Structure 1
């Protein structure tokens, strides 16, 4: 009888413990079972270490540290090669791996700022109005050409980034940037009255009145010819067209040498200039049979001249002109580009 009871005891005990696992866990059992589990874990720790399970768990971390070491060695070699560079301006130029701030989502262009790019345009800004410069973006290859500008920016504690040509293309939205780009403050245009008061002591003066030329490349070509032949001012209805990066690039810095004059009413502006002794000369984009005009070699110009340039012929302005002229072409090409025709006229003004 006793033997049978002893045999049955284990089966009764295990049956009761499995039932308690399924249906009822007392609060007193939980901590004791947790302690037992911790003891079991600690006893099996050595065996787990022997099977390299713990080491296997940390393998990704070791890989990461090796990658960090490799990256550090690459950066160290790059910095060492940059130090060994023979360029005398190496110490003055800093590399910047950060994304440039202008033209990206992190920075919105302010209304009073614009972009100037290409070598000659940026040099002209630095020469004529360097205090308007806000920031410089430049490639490593162009730093030697702009060492004076970089030195000045360092003295003024202004920002500049040495970046790749592709990054400058993103900023300027063009590939014709020449490896350099400036953020500058826009110029404030003059009124015609202010311009005349500032230049009242001049015996010789030439002004361009440009009517409805919106193409930035044509406008830039006009300004370049005007600066080459010593024109002092340009009258426009929309002076903000001169802030176009494309117009500045084509003008090759000529915009910085010419005063921008705001003229909402061209007829009233021409009348004011006539009263001040200016001769109004209208240059037709092509010869028109319905408009009486003269050829260039027949015209005698005054000392003070305002030249009216047309994209499309405006009869109101022609009626206010003292002289209307055209350039004689032929059947192959009856008319020239407006900027080329203006350059020919301005070269004859000097004679």
Structure 2
């Protein structure tokens, strides 16, 4: 019985240690690392045998999978952190340079978009033309003043960035931004014919025709006075001047309350206004002895009036006007600022 059992057991043969091969370098310099072992034991059937004639078994490394998991976890956390920091919904002041471009190249942005800054101007845009808002830049101190605007931007999935005052100064190129700046779509002006068709049913109307006023501060002052006294339309040759950030800041949101009218030919526009029953009144920037004009208190205004305002005297416009007037001054100051003079004229017209 025992003999049969001994016969059934497999016979294991152990190979004797062969003499090491001689190499050019000594045995001490011979590498004994993992690469050398793998080369000698490339097959699992050729397991290396130690001095005690034991068969060594090699276990696979288990730390590789754990290393991959740890590395993946670290990269995932880093990516999530980066996404959270770059999210426009984070109320965190950004110190990196902010560009006003929002989905457009520079040329198309300058053509279709403009910057609006200062508190009253931005609030006026949100009140009258919020659908044109593209993006908001605001300081942390001003977020409470624009809580409704920020809530609306979040609902509309539009971006806003809480940035420093220095960053807004770089965007607007001015220090007078008030801690808030909007990127908005430019308004599309009406032609005079379209405006007259829309206002044909009005009994009272007033249009401010501005010629040769290129200073954005004077233009903003004119628009502010026009909005204050209820002027309905503002006619210009270059309506893009109304999109100037400086003009909108000085106007304090008044630009949003008036209709922009584009006119390439003021003489033809004046004739068209006369045909539609408008009284054309030209306001001289200063009194001139060579031009016949009346004082303001002597003028009776019609229900529909078009006030022509200019800084440089234009005789063609004066000759086509129904009434030419001036505001009397004295030797100390013969003339007023054009926006102040227009405000006085509009106040008398209101009466």
| TM-score interval for Structure 1 and Structure 2 normalised by the shorter chain | 0.7 to 0.9
| C-alpha separation in 2, matches of 1:226 and 1:215 | 17
Larger Rg, first or second structure (1 or 2): 2
Secondary structure of the 1:195 match is helix
1:103 and 1:170 in contact (8 A); partners too? no
**1:123 equivalent in alignment to 2:109:** no
Residue 277 of structure 2 corresponds to: 277
Residue 63 of structure 2 corresponds to: none
**CA deviation after TM superposition for structure 1 residue 33, in Å:** 4.7
Secondary structure of the 2:325 match is strand
**1:287 equivalent in alignment to 2:287:** yes
Secondary structure of the 2:111 match is coil
**1:94 equivalent in alignment to 2:106:** no
Secondary structure of the 1:335 match is coil
Q: How does 1:44-193 map to 2 (within 5 A)?
A: 94-97=91-94, 98-102=96-100, 108=106, 109-193=109-193
Structure with greater proportional helix content: 1
**CA deviation after TM superposition for structure 1 residue 158, in Å:** 0.1
Structure 1 segments unaligned to the other structure (5+ residues): 1-28, 42-74, 80-91
Count of matched residue pairs: 275
Residue 259 of structure 1 corresponds to: 259
Name the CA shift for 1:161/1:229 in 2 (closer, same or farther; >3 Å): same
2:92 and 2:163 in contact (8 A); partners too? yes
Q: What RMSD, in angstroms, separates the aligned Cα atoms of the two structures?
A: 2.5
Q: Deviations 1:270-323 (Å, cap 9, x if unpaired)?
A: 000001100000000000000000000000000000000011000000000110
**1:225 equivalent in alignment to 2:222:** no
**CA deviation after TM superposition for structure 1 residue 35, in Å:** 8.1
Q: Deviations 1:146-201 (Å, cap 9, x if unpaired)?
A: 00000000000000000000000000000000000000000000000000111111
Residue 39 of structure 2 corresponds to: none
2:192 and 2:263 in contact (8 A); partners too? yes
| C-alpha separation in 2, matches of 1:32 and 1:229 | 104
**CA deviation after TM superposition for structure 1 residue 39, in Å:** 4.8
Q: Deviations 1:74-125 (Å, cap 9, x if unpaired)?
A: x9xxx9xxxxxxxxxxxx8621535323269x96334200000000000000
**CA deviation after TM superposition for structure 1 residue 37, in Å:** 4.6
| C-alpha separation in 1, matches of 2:209 and 2:26 | 93
Secondary structure of the 1:280 match is strand
2:93 and 2:139 in contact (8 A); partners too? no
- Structure 1 length as normaliser, TM-score? 0.74
Residue 343 of structure 2 corresponds to: 343
Name the CA shift for 1:157/1:326 in 2 (closer, same or farther; >3 Å): same
